[in-house]
Structure 1
Amino acid sequence: MTNEQLFWQTAASDPHRPAVIVDGGGTTTYGELAETANRLSNGLRARGLVAGSALALVLPNRLEFIALQLAAHQIGLYVVPVNRHLTAPEVGYILGDCGAELVVADSTTAPTVAEAAELAAISPKVLYGVGDDAASLQTYHELLGAAASPDDRVAGSMLFYSSGTTGRPKGIRRPMSGLSPEDEQGRIAQWARAMNVTPDGVFLSVGPLYHAAPNQNMMMTLQLGHTVVVSSGFDPEHALGLIQRHAVTATFLVPTMMHRLLTVPAERRNEFDVSSLRTILHAGSICPVATKRAMIDWVGPVLVEYYGSSESGATTIIDSASWLAHEGSVGQARPGMAVRICDEHGEELPPGTPGLIHLKSGVVIEYVGDPNKTASSYQDGFFVPGDIGYLDEDGWLFVCDRRTDLIISGGVNIYPAEIEGELLQHAAVLDAAVFGVPDDEWGQRVVALVQLRDPGADRAVVTESIAAHCRDRLAAFKFPRVLEVVERLPRTAAGKISRSRLRDSYRSGRSG
């Protein structure tokens, strides 16, 4: 496949190639998917959407999500993926904030969307539902227009919303490129090759498509002629079964997913053939060194990590061989991009000194309706995501933690991610979260909450075993002053824990 053989060319030259396999559903070919996308493009235009309009999708992982995104991307629309687990007021805020001109839901989200639209003063005439049981909304099939390729094609863009862990979520709007869909997709395909995603493979998509990384990695592989296997969620053994059944060559995982895969007993894991895997992309949060090393030992040197943000995009990259030589690094800056480490005043720090990470990707985003936040997020053209890290002498970046999650105890900086990484290496621990709470003597003390693999285990015995494990591996000032077992630690579908929310919940529970 040449560099020019992207989604639309593949649909024309090889229309019978499988494009999307929905887990538990059917298979759609490239020709069928392209025709549906064309029909949706014409249907959306017929309903008044023009370049720059916002199309909101409140959908689970399903074929219609992908078809609508492809349609929007060839007529210059902003696609706004909305977390389908949000409440009506939360969805209503996003719909109003982005100025959604058309909204698509399905039976699982239709009631929420209808209520949200009313709260946002959005006409029910622009609400559409996929499936017969989304009867309260106009039907998705009404959006299907003529099958011909639309005129005046121009690339669209994404408008993702932040998770809102520190207040209302913010819309992250990237400027339109003004390129043709093919030229825009060519840039995406070039990035795919840099991440060792080779043409004509099978990509397993297990993350939620409303989240930036799973969405963009899925769409990226369609540009290389992949067959995309779409799962509604992540279960370790089910994912292993899908890899074996479909001979998956590439996938995207967050560190939590990798940890869950490793909790499957080795003898059970080895029952699944994962030898087809050529690339495992990962990002989204700090990956414990031991977890990544164990993954490489199991599946081979196929992991490719990148670091960035929804605002900056992927700014650094590192393959398995480089990581083994620089354990813990998230890579070096990609060509044409830059990373620097600065103090709170914007002064650049020397190698080996932790400070605020600054990323330069060549793209400057805007936060919808918040020019002050947009301006304060950049320094000299560098985006400042709020992470703490350092560069070594050779320019390899190491991420310590979020600035907002940093614990300062007795005047010493403590990074929760480091402690969580050690807790996760204990055989009894399924999940862990570490945060700081006020302490009259030390300023802050370290609190660790753990979820056990065996909920029926003797908590007192296991807690002492975990404590002994930590004493052997952590300096005394990092040792959790509080270590508690909880039934469950809430993670987002993207695999992230909001330590700030856990901290607030923990403190309110102790004061109540």
Structure 2
Amino acid sequence: MLRVGDISTNNARRYPHKRALVDAGRVHTWSQVDERARRLANFVRSRGLMPGDRVMVIARNCIEWPEIAFGLAKAGLITVPVNIRLAPDEVAHIRDDSGARAAIIHADHMAKFLGELTDMSLVLGIGARRELGDNALVTDYETALAGVWSSAPDVGVSPDDLAFILYTSGTTGRAKGVMHTHRGLMYQAADTNLVTEANRSDVMLATTPFFTAGGMVRTVSWLYLGQTMVIHQKFDPEAVIDEIERSGITFTTFIPTMLQRTLAILEDGPPRDMSSLRRISYGSAPVPPGLARRAMDLLGCDLQQRYGLTECGGQATILTPQDHRDILAGRTSIATSCGQETPMCHIRVIDEHGENVPAGTVGEIVISSPANAVGYWNRPEQTAETFRPDGLRTGDLGYLDEDNYLHITGRKTDMIISGGFNVYPAEIERVIAHHRDVDLVAVVSVPDPEWGETPVAVVIPKSHVTDRETLTAELTALCRSELAGYKQPRRFEYREEFPLGPAGKILKREIAEDLRRLASQA
């Protein structure tokens, strides 16, 4: 069974001179990636770190990210990715909860976070040579790699050892560390490459953060076959279009807002050569059929949607390119779906007693997969509650239709109980999102003196919309025609933008809190 560190070893043997990583003007071949990963492994071992020790990685997207993942894995260490948007207190929580002994930090984040790392056994700074001055706390990353031997480290690493601890967003309290083994990540890499029909000649464009679950999976799956990964520090639609033309990008991953911004430039600008692009994978929210049509016409490529969560290794379903074509041809029954289970997964929907429910019945989604995480770090009770012998309790609500397509209706914690009836925000959002003048929509719960709580629809209208009263009237009529009375939004609110998490997910909790704050001030 392969381990994470074996990915660079195998590809260096097979394709030593092939481009592996590209970041602006920097290019590393597979032989260079593996050598640098070996040097990193040997350096951290020389500084007293032992197999099983945790190492925080606090870094924006950069060429070093994959080699760090491979190098720490070779040394038997556990990578703890850190969201660079966190507050210092939140980083301190991850430091203390994980018991990390070392950190690798990008120079861009030293001013913000270095104060939380003063008690570490080792701090490596990426791009830090000019930033260090007399700072004895930080060792320059490149200096460390240059001063150590490059032979393969003599460390026994089992496929069942932990490779990553990835902290969840903490929407219900302090972030929890989700534990992923080498074995689980290798299964996820194989599963991902199967469903994306990947091959070693693919050129992948990475724009979303490496510190997310998607970034973790991308590090192993997008390089598993010896592909080339082009890395952007952040998403910029103009830069994405330029990169597709320049580097012959074949595959990338977006969220719907990224797709919309990219298409807007292509529609308004001169013709561009997108012919290399074969597929875009997206998640976080469904793409409306109109947007899918525009994307397939303008980009000339396939689309796939995926559903997953950190605890299941990142991906459990796929709505295939053929499914998208079928939707555009009129198969509306799967338009609200996130697809069917991937080859490695078995998905069930259960009731409150743990029994499987019939097709079309909403319940909690349960995922069985060898790619599942193995639990929460230092949280045995929550691990026992979520990671059951018969599958992962996702906390997501949804149903399987007669053709075994999964339809998400929301989080258990997002469900609105209005007048004793269960209201699922995703049902309302899908109706509203089909309106031609709606860009994005989020339905949240607000307190109601009569019904306990009630849904409110918060809408980002398309840029040309100036008459919001007319839009409200049309959306009200649309909801009345397609939704039961108890599911009607109490009102419509409008915003220019939504708060987004690091993976691009709309932060509904912040939207709801803002509505409640405004109501209390009224």
**Normalising by structure 2, what TM-score?**
0.87
One of 108, 133, 151 as aligned partner of 2:154: 151
Per-residue Cα deviation, 1:286-324 (whole angstroms, up to 9, x for no partner): 444554454345445622333222111222233121353
2:126 corresponds to 1:130: yes
Structure 1 counterpart of 2:341, which letter?
A
Q: Classify the secondary structure of the residue corresponding to 1:108.
A: helix
The equivalences for 1:412-491 within 5 A come to: 412-426=421-435, 428-454=437-463, 458=466, 461-472=467-478, 474-475=482-483, 477-491=486-500
User: CA separation in 2, counterparts of 1:442 and 1:162?
Assistant: 32
Amino acid at match of 1:127: V
Instruction: Give the Cα separation in 2 of the matches to 1:401 and 1:434.
Output: 10
**CA–CA distance in structure 1, aligned partners of residues 139 and 460 of structure 2:** 44
1:428 shift after superposition:
5.0
Q: Which residues of structure 1 form unaligned runs of 5+? A: none
Taking the aligned partners of 1:354 and 1:117, their CA distance within structure 2 comes to 46
Give the whole-Å Cα distance in 1 for the aligned partners of 2:187 and 2:177: 26
1:499 to 2:502 alignment: no
- The correspondence of residues 78-89 of structure 1 with structure 2, limited to 5 A, is 78-89=78-89
How does 1:301-320 map onto structure 2 within 5 Å?
302-313=302-313, 314-320=315-321
1:260 partnered with 2:266: no
Q: Deviations over 1:101-157 (max 9, x none)?
A: 210112221123222235xxx33x422211224424222234322122222353661
Query: Equivalences for 1:74-473 in 2 at 5 Å?
Result: 74-118=74-118, 122-123=119-120, 125-131=121-127, 132-135=129-132, 136=135, 137-144=138-145, 145-152=148-155, 154=157, 157-177=163-183, 188-189=189-190, 191-264=192-265, 266-268=267-269, 271-300=271-300, 302-313=302-313, 314-323=315-324, 324=326, 326-362=334-370, 363=372, 365-426=374-435, 428-454=437-463, 458=466, 461-472=467-478
Query: Does the CA-based 8 Å contact 2:88-2:116 persist in structure 1?
Result: yes
The sequence identity of aligned pairs, in percent, is 32
Provide the C-alpha distance between the structure 2 equivalents of 1:466 and 1:277, rounded to a whole number of angstroms. Answer: 38
Q: TM-score, normalized by length of structure 1?
A: 0.88
Amino acid of the structure 2 residue aligned with 1:116: E
User: Structure 1: how far apart are the matches of 2:491 and 2:266?
Assistant: 29
Change (3 A) 1:477 1:237: farther
Residues 303 and 102 (structure 1 numbering): CA distance in 2 closer, same or farther, change over 3 Å? Answer: same
Per the TM alignment, residue 185 of structure 1 is displaced from its structure 2 partner at its CA by 5.3
The 1:185–1:309 alpha-carbon spacing in structure 2 relative to 1, beyond 3 Å, is: closer
The CA deviation string for residues 245-300 of structure 1, in whole angstroms up to 9 with x for no partner, is 211101122233234334446243x7222221222222344444554454345445
How many residue pairs get aligned? The number is 494
The alignment's C-alpha RMSD in Å is 2.7
**Counterpart AA for 1:94:** I
Q: 2:286–2:305: 8 Å Cα contact kept in structure 1?
A: no
Distance in 2 of aligned mates of 1:36 and 1:399: 42
Q: In structure 2, give the amino acid aligned to 1:361.
A: S
The answer (yes or no) to whether the contact 2:83–2:211 under 8 Å persists in 1 is yes
State the alpha-carbon separation in 2 of the partners of residues 388 and 296 from structure 1.
30
The secondary structure found in structure 2 opposite 1:19 is: strand
8 A contact 1:351–1:391 mirrored in 2 = yes
Q: Aligned with 2:319: secondary structure?
A: strand
CA contact (8 A) 2:441 2:457 kept: yes
Q: Is the 8 A contact 1:6 1:185 kept in 2?
A: no
Separation in structure 2 between the aligned mates of residue 275 and residue 488 of structure 1, nearest angstrom: 32
Q: Which moved more, 1:211-220 or 1:289-298?
A: 289-298
In the alignment, the residues of structure 1 paired with residue 428 and residue 163 of structure 2 have an alpha-carbon distance, to the nearest angstrom, of: 38
State the secondary structure of the residue aligned to 1:304: strand
